[in-house]
Amino acid sequence: MQTIGLAVIGAGYWGPNLVRNAQATPGLRLRYLCDLDADRARRVLGEYSTVRVSDSLDEVLADPEVHAVAIATPAKTHLPVAMAALEAGKHVLVEKPLAATHAEGAALVRAAEERGLTLMLDHTYCYTPAVAHLRELVHSGGIGSVQYLDSVRINLGLVQPDVDVLWDLAPHDLSIFLSILPEGVRPLAVAAHGSDPIGAGRACVAHLTIELTGGAMAHVHVNWLSPTKIRTMVIGGSQRTVVWDDLNPSQRLSVYDRGVDRAGAAELGEEKREQTIVSYRTGDMVAPALPEKEALRAVMAEFHAAITEGRPPLTDGRSGLRVLAILEAASASLAQGGAFLPILDSEDVAGSENAAAPEGALL
């Protein structure tokens, strides 16, 4: 197995998780933990670690034994840090969101593609056994055609100082949606509503409504102020409906063969269409047995595989760009009182506006 030398950039909240999983992933060799606070990095690694500590990104990127970096720094620094790594010829794994704006994300995608380097998003939930099963079920036609998606992600969370609740929590749900939607189904427009009942200066409660091709609709509710924690998603199909409860380890997924059918519609004329008979289908509920695996370990394994096999990872830079496109349209909708606004098609990033790294960025 080809060994990839890895540096983790950022020793704050998420960096230690990247360190732990990198060290446990075959084919990855952690060589550096880089942070402006070198003492914090040393505390993360422990007294006897052989991993080097550095407070200089330039030093890390100049080391030929570092082939890739995993970035866990604030979103506003993703562009300068990731761009510096790509320009140094390093593969990049970056925390969500890909960048602070769609234009900055597009610049990173272009830079990676021009250099033939892997650019991957750590959309951790996409690598859980539950989402992997959901993806297979939807893509194989196991639920029929997708009719709706509904997600709730609420808890008494940390009010972020630099982003609203949409940019903090919704990327998880949006990345899952984009991961499981079948070929040919994509977001078209989004409307966002939010409120700031505690006077934080940014939305702390928000709702997204997303129009999809084919007439389906997706809904996301995110909330920092709920005293109860809820992590559920419902994917409704023409044949089956799946409920994912991420807080129920004994039954994360429930697949229901229950729903509503329209009987006799084809035989009725337009003038009698309102008389269409609705029938309710009642069938079994199946709870698939799923393995309990740490998703971040699968993220690291996918990063290594994408690099060594020369293929795009499951959550590549373009998937991160699609999430940014929805978030930017949602922010614009929120500012305009909840109007439906079109979502930029991120498939073609070649013509996107160039973005420059802001001066004075960290690292």
pTM of the complete model: 0.88
- pLDDT, position 275: 54
CATH of 126-286, one of 3.40.190.10, 3.90.226.10, 3.30.360.10, 3.30.460.10: 3.30.360.10
| Window from 3-12, 42-51, 114-123, 306-315 with minimum mean pLDDT | 42-51
- Please classify residue 209 by burial: count the beta carbons closer than 10 Å to its beta carbon, then call 0-12 exposed, 13-18 middle and 19+ buried: middle
- pLDDT, position 360: 32
In the chain, domain spans? 4-123+296-315, 126-286
Radius of gyration for the alpha carbons in the chain, expressed in angstroms and rounded: 22
DSSP-derived secondary structure letter, 94: E
- pLDDT, position 260: 76
The model's confidence at residue 346, banded by pLDDT at 50, 70 and 90, is low
| pLDDT beyond 60 at 349 | no
Structure tokens at 59: 């030093």
DSSP 213-246: GGG-EEEEEEESEEEEEEEEEEEEESS-EEEEET
Q: Rounded distance, CA 20 to CA 30, Å? A: 10
Q: Rounded distance, CA 55 to CA 42, Å? A: 11
User: What's the first-to-final CA gap in the chain, in angstroms?
Assistant: 32
- pLDDT, position 264: 57
Q: Rounded distance, CA 257 to CA 243, Å? A: 12
| pLDDT beyond 80 at 136 | yes
Angle at 119 between CA 116 and CA 121, to 5 degrees: 165
Kindly report, residue by residue over 32-58, the tens digit of the pLDDT.
999 999 999 999 998 778 899 999 999
- pLDDT, position 120: 98
Residue 187 near residue 256, CB atoms below 8 Å: no
Architecture of domain 4-123+296-315: 3-Layer(aba) Sandwich (3.40)
